[in-house]
């Protein structure tokens, strides 16, 4: 993976991580600020369910952006390199079991 591709992925991935951290911090402040622990079990479960749904929304949106950046980088890589049709992210070539 080239340095430019890594930078592009990092540009999308770091805001994703920051978004999750900020969301969790805000939710924890709300949890303690509104004394959710002292409420009914149903209220606590609803609170956790909403937190989970918001986290899922943030993560799926962020991962779509990371994937789009990855695909953009892959398309750019395929346009500039016609030497091989092998997936550049597939990892190293490993020898087969029969030694060929």
Q: pLDDT tens, position by position, for the chain (100 residues)? A: 688 888 888 999 999 999 999 999 999 999 999 999 999 999 999 999 999 999 999 999 999 999 998 898 777 766 555 545 555 555 556 565 665 5
Q: How many domains does the chain have?
A: 1
Cα–Cα distance between 37 and 61 in angstroms, integer? Answer: 30
Burial class (CB in 10 A: 0-12, 13-18, 19+), 70: middle
Evaluate whether 20 touches 58 at the Cβ level (below 8 Å).
yes
Instruction: Please give the pLDDT value at position 67.
Output: 93
Residue 31 is assigned to a structural domain of this protein:
yes
Q: Which structural domain, as residue segments, surrounds residue 23?
A: 3-78
Is the whole model's pTM more than 0.75, yes or no? no
Residue 27 is assigned to a structural domain of this protein:
yes
Residue 21 is assigned to a structural domain of this protein:
yes
Residue 51 is assigned to a structural domain of this protein:
yes
Residue 83 is assigned to a structural domain of this protein:
no
Evaluate whether 47 touches 34 at the Cβ level (below 8 Å).
no
Residue 90 is assigned to a structural domain of this protein:
no
Burial class (CB in 10 A: 0-12, 13-18, 19+), 73: buried
Residue 11 is assigned to a structural domain of this protein:
yes
């Amino acid at each position: 993976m080239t340095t430019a591709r890594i930078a592009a992925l990092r540009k999308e991935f770091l805001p994703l991580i920051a978004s999750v951290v900020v969301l969790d911090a805000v939710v924890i402040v709300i949890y303690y600020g509104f004394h959710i622990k002292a409420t009914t079990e149903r209220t606590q479960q609803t609170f956790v369910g909403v937190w989970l749904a918001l986290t899922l929304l943030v993560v799926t949106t962020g991962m779509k952006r990371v994937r789009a950046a990855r695909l953009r980088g892959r398309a750019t890589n395929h346009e500039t390199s016609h030497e091989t049709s092998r997936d550049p992210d597939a990892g190293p070539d490993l020898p087969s079991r029969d030694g060929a």
